[in-house]
Structure 1
Amino acid sequence: MPQQFIHEIRAFNRFYTNLIGALDYSRHLYLPYTLTESRVLYELAHRDEPEAADLRAELGIDAGYLSRLLAKFEKDGLVERGPSPRDPRRQRITLTPRGREAAELQEERSREAVGVLLSKVPAAERPRLTEAMRTVRTVLADARPTKPAEVRLREPGPGDLGWMVMRNAALYAAEYGWNADYEGLVARIVADFAEDHDPHLERVWIAELDGIPVGSVMCVRDDAPATARLRLLLVEPDARGHGIGDRLVSAVIAFAREQGYRELVLWTNDVLDAARRIYQRHGFVLTAEKPHRSFGRDLVGQDWRLSLHAEPA
C-alpha cells in the first residue's frame, strides 16, 4: 500500500479528531452518556421496533457490553425491554418518554455543534465540503468488507411451530389483508402435525438467516397414495433475496423423493406471485384453478403438481 495514502488518511483522522475536540464534544455533546451510549440512543430513536440483535449487527457491539448498556438504560428509565412480537426469543427495545427526551436532547446538541462548525466555513465552500464528505463516506462504505449472510435449514425446536402460526397470520394479514380465518387454518395444520405425524414420512424445516428464524415449510402425507403435500411455505420480507424460498422447496423435494413418494402436490392462491415463481422454477405444473371466497378475500385457488419419478434438471 503506497505510504502517501496511509499518511493522508491518518493526517485527516488527527485533524478531524482535533476539530471535534475544539467543539468540546467530549465535555458537553454526549454527557451524561458516552459516545457509544449516545449512538445506541440515536439508533433506538430512529428505528421501528428496534431489537437487540439488530443493534449488535449494525453497530458491531459485543453482546455482553450491549446487554450491560441496555440494563443501565433500563435502570435509568430510558428503555423498556421485552420479547419481540416477531420472535419471542429476540429482545425488543422501546424508548420510554424519558428516553425519547434524552435522545432528542442529544440530537439537538449534535445539530447545534455541526451548525457551529459550518458557521466557520464560507457559504460558497459548504457545498464542496459536504460533497467531499459524501465522497469519503461512499468510497469507504464500498470498500468495507461485508460478511455473506449465513442461511441454515434445521428441524423445529420448542416454540417454532407456534412461531409458524404467528408469522403466517401476521404476514398474510399485512401483505394481503387476510383475516383470522387464515390463522385458524394454519393453526389446525400445525396442530395436526404436532399431535400426530410420522417423522419418517413428514417433516418441518425452519430457515435461519444469521441465526434468526426467517422462514419455514412443511412436507406431509397427502390423501392420495404415494403423494406428499408441500404446505405453509413462508419467508420473512426482510430475508427475501437470499434464495431461502428455493432452499426450502428444494429440501421438501429431496425429502419426498428420498422417502419414496411418487408425486408432490401443493395448493396456493394466484396472488402469491413470488411463491408461484419458486414452484415453477422447481418444475411444478399447474393442474387446476378455482375461484373461492376465503380469508375475507375473493381468491383463485391453484393446485400444483410435481412428478418425482425423474431427477430434477
Structure 2
Amino acid sequence: MHEKSGARPPAPNDIRLRKSLDDALTAPHWPEGFVMRLFEHRDAQALHALLEEVFNDGADGAFDDWWPRISGDAEFDPDLCFLVIDGKGLLAGAALCWTSGFVKDLAVHPDSRGHGIGEALMRHVFLTFRDRGAAHVDLKTNMVNNAAAFRLYERLGMIPIAWEG
C-alpha cells in the first residue's frame, strides 16, 4: 500500500479500506526487542530504503526525488510517521500517514515480518488519529498483490469504501 489517496485511478484488485475510530480500539503490543519512535529528519534515507525494499516497484524513485516530494507535501507531518526499530538499531517497519487520516505507506522489512509489527503500527495509527479528533483512518491496498496486508486490515476491522471516500 503506497501512494496518495486519489493520486491515480485504482489498479485491478485495488481497494480502499476504512477503520471507524468510534469503535473500541486496542492499544498496540510492541514485540520484544522492537521499539516504536517518531520519525526524525535523519531517518529519511532509511525510510526510503525500507519502502524501496518492501514495495520493490520503483514507484518512489530516487531519494533525491522522493524526499522533497514527501517532505514538501501539505499533508506531511513528521509526527505522523511512526518507525519501529529493532534491537540492532535498524529500521524494521514504518507507517507514513498523511494529515487527512490516510495511511500512505505501511511497510515491514522482510527480516522483521511475523512479529506483529504491522498490526502494532496500525493500532498506534488508529489511536493517534482518534486522539487528533479524526472519525476514521483510510488506506489503499491491493487484495491480490498484497493479500497478507489485506488480511491484516480485515482483522483490524477495516471495511471497503468507495474510492471517493
Check whether TM > 0.5: yes
Q: Report 1:270-281 matches (<5 A).
A: 270=143, 271-281=145-155
**Higher strand share goes to which structure?**
2
Which amino acid in structure 1 is aligned with residue 153 of structure 2? Y
Is the contact between residue 50 and residue 91 of structure 2 (CA under 8 Å) also seen in structure 1? no
Would you say 1:241 and 2:105 are equivalent positions? no
| TM-superposed deviation, 1:276 | 1.1
**Higher helix share goes to which structure?**
1
| TM-superposed deviation, 1:281 | 1.5
Residue 282 (structure 1) aligned to one of 141, 147, 156: 156
User: Structure 1 residues 190, 278: CA separation in 2 closer, same or farther (over 3 Å shift)?
Assistant: farther
In 2, the alpha carbon distance for the partners of 1:285 and 1:188 equals: 33
Which amino acid in structure 2 is aligned with residue 239 of structure 1? S
Larger radius of gyration: 1
User: Structure 1 residues 260, 207: CA separation in 2 closer, same or farther (over 3 Å shift)?
Assistant: same
Which amino acid in structure 2 is aligned with residue 156 of structure 1? F
Would you say 1:163 and 2:36 are equivalent positions? no
Which amino acid in structure 2 is aligned with residue 277 of structure 1? R
Structure 2 partner of 1:220: 98
User: Structure 1 residues 161, 219: CA separation in 2 closer, same or farther (over 3 Å shift)?
Assistant: same
Residue by residue over 1:57-115, the C-alpha shift from the partner in whole angstroms, topping out at 9 and shown as x without a partner, is xxxxxxxxxxxxxxxxxxxxxxxxxxxxxxxxxxxxxxxxxxxxxxxxxxxxxxxxxxx
- Name the SS of the counterpart of 2:161 in structure 1: strand
Instruction: Mark the runs of 5 or more structure 2 residues left unpaired by the alignment.
Output: 1-30
User: Structure 1 residues 232, 157: CA separation in 2 closer, same or farther (over 3 Å shift)?
Assistant: same
Structure 1 partner of 2:7: none
| TM-superposed deviation, 1:262 | 1.1
Is the contact between residue 206 and residue 213 of structure 1 (CA under 8 Å) also seen in structure 2? yes
| TM-superposed deviation, 1:192 | 4.3
Q: Report 1:152-231 matches (<5 A).
A: 152-173=35-56, 178=57, 180=58, 182-184=59-61, 191-195=68-72, 196=74, 199=77, 203-210=80-87, 211-222=89-100, 228-231=101-104
Which amino acid in structure 1 is aligned with residue 39 of structure 2? P
User: Structure 1 residues 197, 266: CA separation in 2 closer, same or farther (over 3 Å shift)?
Assistant: closer
In 1, the alpha carbon distance for the partners of 2:64 and 2:156 equals: 27
User: Structure 1 residues 191, 268: CA separation in 2 closer, same or farther (over 3 Å shift)?
Assistant: farther
Q: Which has the higher contact order (CA 8 A, sep 6+)?
A: 2
- Name the SS of the counterpart of 1:159 in structure 2: helix
| TM-superposed deviation, 1:199 | 4.7
Instruction: Give the share of equivalent positions with the same residue, in percent.
Output: 24
How many residues are treated as equivalent by the alignment? 131
| TM-superposed deviation, 1:163 | 1.8
Residue 256 (structure 1) aligned to one of 103, 109, 129: 129
In 2, the alpha carbon distance for the partners of 1:166 and 1:198 equals: 18
Which amino acid in structure 1 is aligned with residue 85 of structure 2? E
In 2, the alpha carbon distance for the partners of 1:272 and 1:240 equals: 14
Alignment RMSD: 2.8
Instruction: Mark the runs of 5 or more structure 1 residues left unpaired by the alignment.
Output: 1-147, 223-227, 289-302, 306-313
- Provide TM-score, normalisation by structure 2: 0.67
